[in-house]
Chains A and B, each alone.
Chain A
Amino acid sequence: MIAAAVESLSAASTSGVLLDLSAVVMLLCAFAALGSKLFDRYVAYYALQSIVLAFAAAVVGHALGQVDLWVLAVATLLIKGIAIPVATRRFLLDRLDLRRDVAVSTGLSTSLILGAFLTAFAYLAIRPSTLPHALVASAVVPLSTAIILLGGLCMVVRRHTIAQLIGWLILENGVFLGAITLTATFPFIVEAGIFLDLVAAVLIMITFVSGLAERLATAAAPELRELRH
Chain B
Amino acid sequence: LTALVVLVAALPLLGALAPLALLRARGLGIAIAAGGLGALAAAVAVTVHVERHGPIRALAGFLYVDSLGSFFSLTIAVVVTLAGVGSVAYLRAEEERGGLTPLQLRLYAIFFACFAGLMLASLETGNLGLLWVLIEASTLASAVLVGLEAKASSLEAAWKYIIISSFGVTMALVATLFLYYAASPLALSPNQRLTWPALFTHATLLQHDSLRLAFLLAVIGYGTKVGLAPMHTWLPDAHSEAPSPASAMLSAALLNTGMYAIVRFQAIAIPELGRYTNHVLLVFGFASILIGALFMVRRGNFKRLFAYSSVEHMGIISVALGFGGVLGVYGALLHTLNHAIGKCVLFLTSGELVQRWRTRESSGIVGALTTAPLVGGVLLLGSLAILGSPPFGLFLSEFTIVRAGFRGSSLLAFLLLALLVLAFIAFARSTAAMATGEPEQLEGEASGRQSVVAAVPLVAGMAALLLLGLWIPGGLNSLIMHSIGTIR
Q: Which residues of A contact B (CB under 8 A)?
A: 130, 132, 135, 148, 152, 155, 161, 164-165, 168, 171-172, 175, 178-179, 182-183, 185-187, 189-190, 193-194, 196-197, 200-201, 204-205, 208-209, 211-212, 215-216, 224, 226-227, 229
Contacts and interface: CB of A to CB of B under 8 A. Distances in A.
Contact of B157 (A196, A216, A227): A227
Interface in B197-246: 209, 237, 240-241
Interface in B169-187: 170, 173-174, 177, 180-181, 184
B157 A204 contact: no
B211 to A, nearest CB: 13
Nearest to B179: A183
A201 B162 contact: yes
B166 A168 contact: yes
Nearest to A135: B184
Contacts of B157: 227
A187 B194 contact: yes
Given A161-B159, A224-B159, A186 B190 contact: yes
B90 to A, nearest CB: 22
Contacts of B194: 187, 190
Contacts of A168: 163, 166-167, 170
Contact of A208 (B147, B209, B240, B241): B147
B136 A197 contact: yes
A197 B177 contact: no
Contacts, number: 111
A204 B140 contact: yes
Given A168-B163, A172-B170, A187-B191, A204 B181 contact: no
Nearest to B163: A164
B94 interface: no
Interface of B: 62, 127, 129-130, 132-134, 136-137, 140, 143-144, 147, 150-153, 155-160, 162-163, 166-167, 170, 173-174, 177, 180-181, 184, 190-191, 194, 209, 237, 240-241, 298, 300
Given A186-B180, A190-B194, A201-B140, A226 B298 contact: no
Nearest to A68: B190
Contact of A175 (B62, B127, B144, B173): B173
Contacts of B156: 212, 224, 226-227
B129 A186 contact: yes
Contacts of A185: 190
9 A-B pairs with the lowest CB-CB distances in the bound complex, closest first? A190-B129, A193-B133, A226-B153, A185-B190, A215-B152, A197-B136, A224-B156, A212-B155, A227-B237
Contacts of A227: 153, 156-157, 160, 237, 240-241
Contacts of B209: 130
B177 A175 contact: yes
A200 to B, nearest CB: 5
Contacts of A152: 167
A191 to B, nearest CB: 8
19 contacts: A155-B163, A155-B167, A175-B177, A178-B177, A186-B129, A187-B190, A187-B191, A189-B62, A189-B129, A190-B127, A190-B194, A201-B136, A208-B143, A208-B158, A209-B159, A224-B159, A227-B160, A227-B240, A227-B241
Contacts of A224: 156, 159-160
A179 B175 CA distance: 11
B75 to A, nearest CB: 24
A187 B180 CA distance: 10
Nearest to B128: A190
A135 B181 CA distance: 11
Contacts of B155: 208, 211-212, 215
Given A183-B181, A193-B133, A200 B140 contact: yes
Contacts of B147: 208, 211
Contact of B159 (A178, A179, A190, A208): A208
Given A175-B174, A215-B152, 12 more contacts: A164-B163, A168-B170, A172-B170, A175-B177, A197-B140, A200-B140, A208-B147, A208-B158, A215-B151, A224-B156, A224-B160, A226-B153
Nearest to B140: A200
A226 B152 contact: yes
Nearest to B195: A187
B180 to A, nearest CB: 5
Contacts of B173: 175, 194
Given A168-B163, A168-B167, A212-B159, A187 B174 contact: no
A172 B62 CA distance: 24
Interface centre among B150, B159, B298 (most CB of A within 10 A): B159
B143 A193 contact: no
A175 B140 contact: no
A223 B147 CA distance: 18
Contact of B143 (A132, A161, A171, A204): A204
Contacts of A172: 170
B420 to A, nearest CB: 24
A155 B166 CA distance: 12
Contacts of A187: 127, 129, 190-191, 194
A229 B162 CA distance: 20
A161 B156 CA distance: 10
Nearest to A152: B167
A215 B158 CA distance: 14
Contact of A229 (B160, B163, B300): B300
B177 A171 contact: no
A171 B136 contact: no
B140 A171 contact: no
Contacts of A197: 133, 136-137, 140
Contacts of B133: 190, 193-194, 196-197
